[in-house]
Amino acid sequence: MALRINDTAPDFTAETTEGKIRFHEWIGDGYAVLFSHPKDFTPVCTTELGVMAGMADEFAKRNCKIIGISMDPVEDHQKWKADIQSVSGNAVGYPMIGDPDMSVAKLYDMLPAEASGDPANRTPADNQTVRSVFVIGPDKKVKLVLTYPMTTGRNFDEILRAIDSIQLTANHQVSTPANWKHGEDVIIVPAVSDEDAEKRFGSFERVLPYLRRTRQPN
């Protein structure tokens, strides 16, 4: 069964490039992004992990930790770091989970439909984790799930944008329209009355009977 929004993110213990972790304990009282990649020492994955290394400070500003995972052993992750830094100019400072027995990949349904057999003998076309992203909140609930094909590198700016939206909703009872960017107007959720909206936001624009727009709260 695939994980759904508001499911509790499965807890697990795993070896990482930063030592053994207990996932929920590692998350602590903030947010976390768990993202999988198919295989170490492959081209698209190298670019992705380099980008994430370069964006680590942006995630930290949002009280959000990042952690990578694939079915490669931790020793391979450690060796691969040099290639990632040489391509991107960014040193990987976040942990990477080694999952050679597929236990975490199965827990989070990260395997493609055709995956089977011994992970040690997998090929570029089979038995790899797909490009999954899970955003997990301080309550350990799943807030966002994205899955990309193995051949498509992700846009991690979109992950940051989604986290900004998720946190605005949690803190201010607003939602965000299509193509919204940080700093742009937001939408007041229907559960907030007009009277309460005026107290919270000062003013708002009624675009439609069910659509009220206001400035992004600080």
Locate 75 and state its tokens: 């020793």
Spatial contact of 20 and 13, defined as CB atoms under 8 Å apart: yes
How far is the C-alpha of 168 from the C-alpha of 218, rounded, in Å?
A: 9
How far is the C-alpha of 9 from the C-alpha of 4, rounded, in Å?
A: 9
How far is the C-alpha of 133 from the C-alpha of 110, rounded, in Å?
A: 9
Three-state DSSP class for residue 73: coil
Q: Which amino acid is at 119?
A: P
In angstroms, what is the C-alpha Rg of the chain? 19
Locate 29 and state its tokens: 């009282």
Three-state DSSP class for residue 166: helix
Which amino acids are annotated catalytic? 45
